[in-house]
Amino acid sequence: MILGSGLIGTALVPFDRPDVTFLASGVSDSKCTDPAEFAREASLIEAALESATGTVVYFSSAGIYDPSKARSPYVAHKQAMEMLVAEGAESWLCLRASNVVGRGGNPNLLLNYLVKCMRNGIPIPVYRWATRNLVDVADVAAIAATLASREPLNRVVNIAHPQSLPVSEIVDLAEEVLGIQAIKEPVDKGAAFDIDASEVADYFELSAPDYVRRLFERYYL
């Protein structure tokens, strides 16, 4: 069963199965501070846990590792939802996905935002020291389905590319693929942080620059 019809929920459709409940209807905007949105997700999870049979898979966020978001309401909420799932399901997985990329989805997602700005001549603040880890929603869905079908369960797993990239390099790749000059405004902010992707590293064959280049080609040309 799949709860959610957004970017991840739609990608999961080919992997739908009766013995796994995929919780993919959560808050996706890391800047969200709306208690009503957080309460909505909590209510959905609580209801799903009451009726779920088999393994419950919750899609959390690797933004938990970002030191600039450590005290944000979003991160606190995601951690609380992970605990809710871990305590409420006999068999579970919490999957912390990095910056998910696909067709459509939240306009505030990183690549959606970058491309919109570039196509509309909107200046882009580029944080000098920030890095981001990008992952194709198709890969997220396939990896999630694989992890849900094998032991061990009852754990947190990161779904991310083994290598993050500086935001400045991501913008450069966008310019290269789209053939559009971005209006870049360097900002002396940002932080690099690591995501342990060792659990899923073998799934990714391309280097980070080539992988991100393919994301732009696949979803934005």
Q: Is the peptide bond before 186 cis (omega within 30 degrees of 0)?
A: no
Q: When comparing pLDDT for 118 and 51, which is higher?
A: 118
Q: What is the Cα–Cα distance from 10 to 8, expressed in whole angstroms?
A: 5
* 185, 124 Cβ separation under 8 angstroms: yes
Give me the amino acid identity at 88: G
What is the percentage of the chain residues whose pLDDT exceeds 70? 100
Strand partners, 132: 165
Class of domain 2-220: alpha beta
Q: Is the bond leading into 152 cis (omega within 30 degrees of zero)? A: yes
Q: What is the pLDDT of residue 106?
A: 82
Per residue in 173-213, pLDDT (tens digit) is 999 999 999 999 999 998 899 999 999 999 999 999 999 99
pLDDT of 110-119, one tens digit each? 999 999 999 9
| pLDDT digit string, tens, across residues 14-44 | 999 999 999 998 888 888 899 999 999 999 9
Instruction: Give the amino acid at 71.
Output: R
